[in-house]
């Protein structure tokens, strides 16, 4: 018999989310993916909400805290903002789209999505503030970067890394010029 950990279930949850959206996150579906009984799910998690909280917390850590820590290694504020967008473009293609769709119909997923968006937006605005612009301009540039990230994810532009980077660079340059002029 196969011995699984909570991490195995979370990885299966991410695979289901990537391929089927939030509808694929039932204990039964995940057990089928892992070729184990549904009872194994309840051995690792008290209930579906416990699983969902664990899954979303793992996503938040990887797709926000680790992503921002890596982006913060940029040599300048502009380079950091571009790293922020580039890293986001390199993450799993459907995961963020699936989580945003899930957040539209689930209050728990919505709470995580709102917290992630707030953290990312704050990072983008704080980074833009290092460009030497006014607070209002920094907020505008940070919001533009954040919206480029979301828009690129939702439109699928993130699948073409070069195109996505050109879009991000152009949008940030345009907003910078408009804010300064």
pLDDT at 82: 84
For residues 25 and 84, membership in a common domain is answered with no
Cα gap 163→160, rounded to integer Å? 5
pLDDT tens string for the chain (181 positions)? 568 999 999 999 999 999 999 999 999 999 999 999 999 999 999 999 999 999 999 999 998 999 899 999 999 888 888 888 777 767 776 788 899 999 999 999 999 999 999 999 999 999 999 988 889 988 988 998 888 888 877 776 656 666 766 776 777 677 666 655 4
pLDDT at position 181 is: 44
Are 41 and 61 part of one and the same domain?
no
Number of domains in the chain: 2
* pTM (predicted TM-score): 0.87
Q: Which two tokens stand for residue 30?
A: 């995940």
Q: Is residue 123 part of a domain?
A: yes
Indicate whether 113 and 137 sit together in one domain.
Answer: yes
Is the same domain home to 122 and 71?
yes
Contacts 24+ apart (CB under 8 A), 113-120: 115/60, 116/59, 116/60, 116/63, 116/64, 117/146, 117/150, 119/64, 119/65, 119/68, 120/64, 120/68, 120/84, 120/146, 120/149
91: tokens are: 């993450």
| Domain contains 94 | yes
Q: Are residues 109 and 78 in the same domain?
A: yes
Any domain includes 96: yes
Would residue 116 count as lying in a domain? yes
Where in the sequence is the domain holding 36, given as residue range(s)?
A: 1-45
Please check whether residue 127 lies inside any domain of the structure. Answer: yes
The reported pLDDT for the residue numbered 36 is: 94
7 and 28 share one domain: yes
Per the domain annotation, does 50 fall within a domain?
Answer: no
85, part of any domain: yes
Residue 159: predicted pLDDT: 61
Same domain, 99 and 166: yes
pLDDT of residue 110: 98
- Distance CA(72)–CA(120), nearest Å, equals 12
Same domain, 125 and 163: yes
* 39 & 69 share domain: no
Q: Tell me which residue of 97, 144, 101 sits closest to 120, measured CA to CA.
A: 144
In angstroms, how far is the first alpha carbon of the chain from the final one? Answer: 67
């Amino acid at each position: 018999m196969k011995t699984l950990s909570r991490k195995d279930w979370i990885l299966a949850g991410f695979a289901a989310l990537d391929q089927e959206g939030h509808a694929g996150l039932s204990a039964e579906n995940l057990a089928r993916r892992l070729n184990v009984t549904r009872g194994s799910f309840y051995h690792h998690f008290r209930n579906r909400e416990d699983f969902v909280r664990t899954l979303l917390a793992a996503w938040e850590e990887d797709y926000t805290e680790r992503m921002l820590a890596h982006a913060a290694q940029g040599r300048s504020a502009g380079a950091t903002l571009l790293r922020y967008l580039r890293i986001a473009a390199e993450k799993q293609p459907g995961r963020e789209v699936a989580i945003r769709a899930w957040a539209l119909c689930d209050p728990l997923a919505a709470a995580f999505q709102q917290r992630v968006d707030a953290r990312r937006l704050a990072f983008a605005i704080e980074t833009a503030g290092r460009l030497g612009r006014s607070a209002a301009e920094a907020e505008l540039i940070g919001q533009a970067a954040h919206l480029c990230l979301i828009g690129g994810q939702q439109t699928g532009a993130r699948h073409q890394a070069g195109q996505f980077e050109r879009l991000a660079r152009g949008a940030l340059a345009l907003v910078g010029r408009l804010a300064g002029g």
